Structure 1
Amino acid sequence: MTDRPPTPNPGERARTIAARGPATLLPPMPSLPPTGAVADRVTPLLHHVHDDGVVSVLLPDDHQLPAALADGVLTSMVEVVDMAPVPLRESVRGLLWITGQLSVLPLPAARGVALTIAAQRPDPRLLDLGHGASLLRLTPVSMVIADADGTHPVTQATFAAADPDPFCHEEAGWLRHLELSHTEVVHTLRRHLPTHLQGGHLRPLGLDRYGLRLRVEDIEGDHDIRLAFSRPISTLEELSDELRRMVGCPFLALQHGV
């Protein structure tokens, strides 16, 4: 029996999903007054998960939810989705559920939060705050991550102490480039697969500081394989070295892609 390849811990995986994934807001319908009915899933104009797990959600003022929260709070959930960077039969790689108390921020406080968000990720939609849009805050009570490594609760302290994967914002572009422009590299990686999977359609699935993930699509279903790096890495140079080792090609390098 062989040891499983090392993977990021649940806190790190949760921070990575939170840093890049699209999100929807799921307010529980029974908690709303009949006149304030809101669709099960709300797609915000913008969302941001702060380092402490608090979620800021920007919604238009004419949406029913800000009005329903005018006099109080509502228990709600934000679902953040980790999508594969290339088109796959099953494209969702993971989910992060943040459940907590949802409230509308008064405009002065909301503007301060918007400045904090803009310092990390400038977005012109923040300019709509106070001009047709309101900022809501979800204060977390629980966080749960579900992905290929299982379903795990994540405490707010664990979430705050973790960092996103160092390649989380570059991963999608690199893997799309690998799929489109370096099919020979993907083909070479077949030698690392179990024999019974080497005939399937091999796709790049994910990349993190511990390794490269591949998906094999065949008539029997999908099979995910992790190819571990020789050590955890954090720089582009280290990533190039590890990919050259996997492929056996001294000339492979990361420039504008993989």
Structure 2
Amino acid sequence: MTDNRRPPAPHPAERARTIAARGGRAALLPSDGTENRVTPLLHHVHACGDATILLPDDHPLTKAAESGEITAMLELADHAAVPLREPVRGLLWVTGWLRTMDPSDARAACLEVAEERPDPRLLDVGHGASVLRLVPASLVVADAEGTTSLRPELFAQADPDPFHQQEDHWLRHLELSHRDVVGLLGRHLPEELRGGHVRPLGLDRFGLRLRVETVDSDHDVRIAFSRPVATSGELAVELRRLMGCPFLAQRR
């Protein structure tokens, strides 16, 4: 009998926190019906779900949010570490109330961001850039695992994946230097996908994700570890298990 159960994957709130922690490419969409996408000078989503956003002093959104809160949505696109036909592997939308912060609150917000993510663009605040704060009413995460709406408190209770900072480097190394390893991992794909071009797409504490590019479509497949992992040592054990070849798994 065929087992149709989905492999274990991170909770949607964990996936959302991971996309937020990576930063990604951002677009700010005001809810004024214009559908204009604004690229912030800088953006940072805090653990609570609030977002700190830098825009030019003279930007219409900066001016509009000075006199009172306006509704807006921040979109974060999580791009794959390797070049793909469809490079976006996940999206996070934070919808809520946007306001321009006064100088005192803006300085405090910049310090808060700098503690987690030092960035020279923060020095532009007060010199042509203004700080806006987006307080979320809801969040939505969408990727190959599904699309889920989240309450801000559920987002705040989750942690990003323990490997989110190293993931892109590892996947690029796998793509460029270990195509033989990718071939070994491809043995775990469904039979109907084994003729496609297999690319490393993602890695988290529950397993690996592969993108299979066929002639007319793309397919994302999760290969589960035997158990969730939390350290690089545990990860190495699981990778050796999946490849069935300890020597290759240990190569650098």
Of the three residues 215, 220, 231, the one matched with 1:235 is: 231
The answer for unaligned runs of 5 or more in structure 1 is: 31-37
| 2:136 alignment counterpart | 140
Of the three residues 59, 66, 69, the one matched with 2:62 is: 66
1:190-247 deviations in whole A, cap 9, x for unaligned? Answer: 2111222111111001111000001111114112111101110111111111111111
Q: Quick one: which amino acid aligns to residue 99 of structure 2?
A: S
Q: Size of the alignment, in residue pairs? A: 249
| 1:150 alignment counterpart | 146
Of the three residues 212, 215, 222, the one matched with 2:211 is: 215
Q: What is the TM-score of this pair, normalised by structure 2? A: 0.94
Q: CA deviation at 1:27?
A: 0.8
Distance across 1 between alignment mates of 2:145 and 2:198: 20
| 1:11 alignment counterpart | 13
| 1:27 alignment counterpart | 30
Tell me the SS of whatever aligns to 1:189.
Answer: helix
Q: What is the TM-score of this pair, normalised by structure 1? A: 0.92
Alpha carbons of structure 1 residues 105 and 182: separation in structure 2 relative to 1, 3 Å: same
Distance across 2 between alignment mates of 1:23 and 1:189: 32
Q: Quick one: which amino acid aligns to residue 29 of structure 2?
A: L
Instruction: Confirm or deny: 8 A CA contact 1:73 1:102 kept in the other structure.
Output: yes
Distance across 2 between alignment mates of 1:79 and 1:254: 38
| 1:35 alignment counterpart | none
Distance across 1 between alignment mates of 2:140 and 2:118: 28
Q: Does 1:184 align with 2:186?
A: no
Instruction: Confirm or deny: 8 A CA contact 1:236 1:254 kept in the other structure.
Output: no
Percent same amino acid at aligned positions?
61
Q: CA RMSD in A?
A: 1.5
Distance across 1 between alignment mates of 2:83 and 2:107: 38
Distance across 1 between alignment mates of 2:223 and 2:188: 8
Q: Quick one: which amino acid aligns to residue 116 of structure 2?
A: Q
**1:45-124 matches, cutoff 5 A:** 45-124=41-120
Q: CA deviation at 1:29?
A: 2.9
Could you list the structure 1 runs, at least 4 aligned residues long, displaced by more than 2 angstroms after superposition: 251-255
Tell me the SS of whatever aligns to 1:251.
Answer: helix
Instruction: Confirm or deny: 8 A CA contact 1:211 1:228 kept in the other structure.
Output: yes
Q: Does 1:246 align with 2:242?
A: yes
| 1:194 alignment counterpart | 190
Q: CA deviation at 1:41?
A: 0.7
